[in-house]
């Protein structure tokens, strides 16, 4: 029996706990940085990088200002350039694909696998061209993609693989941690992420040459054009503390996902989505599958009804091929790499917003719901969420 009454507001809604929840330890760490008067990348960032590479099991880890910078550095370090094509999922945050444009390369969106909702080797193979140079795999919401076939395909065609592991701290595929399987891994430490430092990011690799390039490109002052993409000591200090708590926090997410799964068993038409049997999800968000056939309402109506009670059961973001970055009203100063006269690849003469990706479009429009189960969300909130979901399911049940 789970008690949730203590959380209820007068109008029978709930305030879903916020994330992150920093305490004295984090406040002290920030204060120590201020007192040291060493605010930009130094000892704390280095210590964080050392601990992070142990955590992911990679040979190298470099702290950066955020994952968008990390993704851009990954593209630059892999020498992705003008007119090159990079295959990427449309089911992700803008940075996974805008980083391709930052190198004047061309994003080639690809449909997803219905089981993992990530790219698959089979889907990627349909988009290969003489211009393909790399693949960006995103372990969306902490659910790992099926990496082995993707790595095999990439090796066969001489392509690089970037893992956007921004949601996947600690997630595993066949016993290996996400972010350490491809050529480069990128993690976000944005406030909302499982390892939160306000803003920050990490780039991981096992390749010393790539690591060296990331190092040189991260901070200006070298002979080649480079950026200022350094991590601050504040982010390093917060990252160190949060990394120490990551496994405990991930266990809470896992327990919440399992409880949600058990409590939803009696509700027909709604199920917690599981990772591949060979993988471990870290449930940055728990995904639910909504069976449209069982209800008299669409996904939007269902989720907004549950949200009225304060439970953040949400639909996903708009898929990226519809995003204004790829369909701009005004052509940016550098032009659009897929419209340059020298470009002869798969996007030549095509418009992004007229592309179609039936599997992931159908999942996002009709079936996928996500719930944030970060600590301190506990069994009380999960039980309340299930009651609200059950009430809504009953109202709309066919
Ligand atoms: C999948 C994914 N990749 C990259 C990013 C970019 O992260 P950052 O805000 O650290 O630049 C995000 C941020 O939400 C994300 O969700």
What is the distance in A from the centroid of ligand 1 to the CA of 152? 26
| d(C-alpha 179, C-alpha 42), whole Å | 24
- Any ligand 1 atom below 6 A from CB of 137: no
Question: Which protein residue's CA is at the shortest distance from atom 9 of ligand 1?
Answer: 190
Give the pair of three-digit tokens for residue 160.
């690089």
How many of the other CB atoms lie within 10 Å of CB of 273? 21
Q: Is 262 helix (H, G, I), strand (E, B) or coil?
A: helix
- Is the peptide bond between 376 and the residue preceding it cis, with omega within 30 degrees of 0? yes
Residue 294, both tokens: 């069982």
User: 68 in ligand 1 pocket by Cβ < 6 Å?
Assistant: yes
Residue 278 lies in a domain: no
Per-residue pLDDT at 278: 98
CA of 243 to the centre of ligand 1 (A): 18
- Number of domains present in the structure of the chain: 1
Domain of residue 163: give its range.
24-240
Tokens representing residue 383 in the block: 């039980």
CA of 52 relative to ligand 1 center, distance in Å? 18
Whether residue 167 has its Cβ less than 6 Å from ligand 1: yes
Q: Which atom of ligand 1 is nearest to the CA of 190?
A: 10
pLDDT of residue 221: 74
The two beta strands, 132-138 and 160-164, are parallel
Using the structure block, give the residue that is written with the tokens 């349909």: 126
Which domain CATH number covers 207?
3.40.640.10
User: What one-character-per-residue DSSP string does 307-360 give?
Assistant: HTTT---B--PPPGGGSGGGS-SS--TT--GGGSTT--STTTT--GGG---HHH
Ligand 1 within 6 A of 4 CB? no
How far is ligand 1, taken at its centre, from the CA of residue 344, in Å? 30
In a domain, 180, yes or no: yes
190 Cβ inside 6 Å of ligand 1? yes
Query: Which parts of 110-167 are beta strand (E)?
Result: 132-138, 160-164
Inside any domain, residue 316: no
The number of the ligand 1 atom at minimal distance from the alpha carbon of 69 is: 11
Ligand 1 near 250 CB (within 6 A): no
Residues of the chain under the 50 pLDDT cut: 1-4
Residue 192 is encoded by which pair of tokens? Answer: 């909302």
Sort residue 174 into left (φ over 0), alpha (ψ -120 to 50) or beta.
left
Predicted confidence at residue 4, as pLDDT, reads 45
> Within a domain: residue 309?
no
CA distances to 171, 240, 241 from 61, in Å = 17, 13, 17
Q: Is residue 4 part of a domain?
A: no
Per-residue confidence (pLDDT) for residue 239, from 0 to 100: 98
Predicted local confidence at residue 42, as pLDDT: 94
Ligand 1 site, residue 66, Cβ cutoff 6 A: yes
**CB distance 139 to ligand 1 below 6 Å:** no
Atom nearest to 70 CA in ligand 1? 11
Q: Checking DSSP bridges between strand 176-177 and strand 85-88, what pairing results, if any?
A: unpaired
DSSP state, residue 266: T
State which ligand 1 atom lies nearest to the alpha carbon of 192. 14
Let me know if residue 103 belongs to a domain.
Answer: yes
C-alpha 325/C-alpha 336 separation (Å) is 10
Residue owning the nearest CA to atom 16 of ligand 1: 93
Residue 213 corresponds to which tokens in the numbers above? Answer: 């390039």
The answer as to whether 66 is a domain residue is yes
pLDDT of residue 222: 73
Q: What confidence score (pLDDT) does residue 3 get?
A: 43
Its pTM stands at: 0.97
- The per-residue pLDDT for 45 is 98
CA distance 397 to 303: 14
Residues making up the chain, counted from first to last: 398
Q: How far is the CA of 68 from the centre of ligand 1 (A)?
A: 6
- Could you tell me the distance, in angstroms and rounded to a whole number, from the CA of residue 54 to the centre of ligand 1? 22
Q: How far is the CA of 141 from the centre of ligand 1 (A)?
A: 11
Place of tokens 């990679």: 58
Q: What is the pLDDT of residue 302?
A: 98
CA nearest ligand 1 atom 14, residue: 93
Are 291 and 269 within 8 A, CB to CB? yes
Tokens of 158: 């001489």
Give me ligand 1 centre to Cα 195, in Å: 12
316 lines ligand 1 (CB under 6 A): no
Task: Please tell me if the CB atom of residue 96 comes closer than 6 angstroms to any atom of ligand 1.
Answer: yes
Find the farthest-apart pair of alpha carbons in the chain and give their distance in angstroms, rounded.
67
């Amino acid at each position: 029996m789970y008690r949730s009454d203590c959380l209820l507001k007068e109008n029978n809604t709930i305030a879903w706990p916020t994330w992150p929840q920093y305490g004295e330890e984090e406040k002290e760490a920030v204060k120590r940085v201020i007192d040291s008067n060493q605010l930009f990348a130094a000892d704390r960032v280095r210590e964080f990088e050392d601990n992070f590479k142990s955590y992911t099991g990679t040979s190298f880890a470099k702290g950066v200002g955020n994952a968008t910078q990390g993704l851009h550095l990954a593209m630059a370090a892999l020498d992705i350039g003008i007119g090159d094509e990079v295959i990427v999922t449309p089911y992700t945050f803008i940075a996974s694909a805008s980083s391709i444009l930052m190198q004047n390369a061309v994003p080639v969106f690809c449909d997803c696998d219905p089981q993992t909702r990530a790219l698959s080797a089979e889907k990627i193979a349909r988009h290969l061209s003489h211009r393909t140079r790399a693949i960006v795999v995103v372990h969306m919401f902490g659910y790992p993609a099926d990496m082995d076939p993707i790595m095999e395909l990439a090796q066969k065609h001489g392509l690089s693989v970037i893992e956007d592991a921004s949601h996947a701290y600690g997630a595993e595929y066949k016993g290996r941690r996400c972010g350490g399987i491809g050529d480069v891994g990128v993690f976000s430490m944005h406030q909302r992420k499982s390892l939160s430092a306000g803003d920050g990011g990490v780039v991981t690799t096992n390749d010393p040459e790539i690591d060296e390039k990331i190092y040189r490109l991260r901070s200006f002052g070298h002979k080649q054009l480079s950026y200022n993409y350094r991590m601050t000591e504040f982010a390093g200090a917060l990252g160190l503390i949060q990394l120490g708590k990551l496994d405990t926090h991930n266990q809470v997410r896992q327990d919440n996902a399992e409880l949600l799964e058990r409590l939803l068993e009696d509700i027909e038409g709604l199920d917690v989505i599981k990772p591949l049997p060979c993988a471990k999800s870290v449930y940055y968000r728990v995904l639910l599958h909504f069976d449209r056939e069982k209800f008299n309402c669409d996904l939007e109506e269902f989720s907004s009804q549950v949200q009225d009670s304060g439970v953040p059961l949400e639909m996903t973001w708009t898929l990226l091929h519809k995003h204004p970055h790829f369909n701009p009203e005004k052509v940016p100063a550098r032009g659009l790499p897929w419209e340059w006269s020298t470009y002869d690849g798969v996007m030549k003469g095509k418009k992004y917003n007229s592309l179609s990706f039936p599997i992931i479009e159908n999942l996002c429009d009709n079936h996928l719901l996500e719930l944030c189960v970060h600590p301190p969300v506990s069994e009380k909130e999960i039980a309340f969420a299930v009651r609200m979901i059950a009430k809504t399911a009953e109202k709309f049940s066919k």
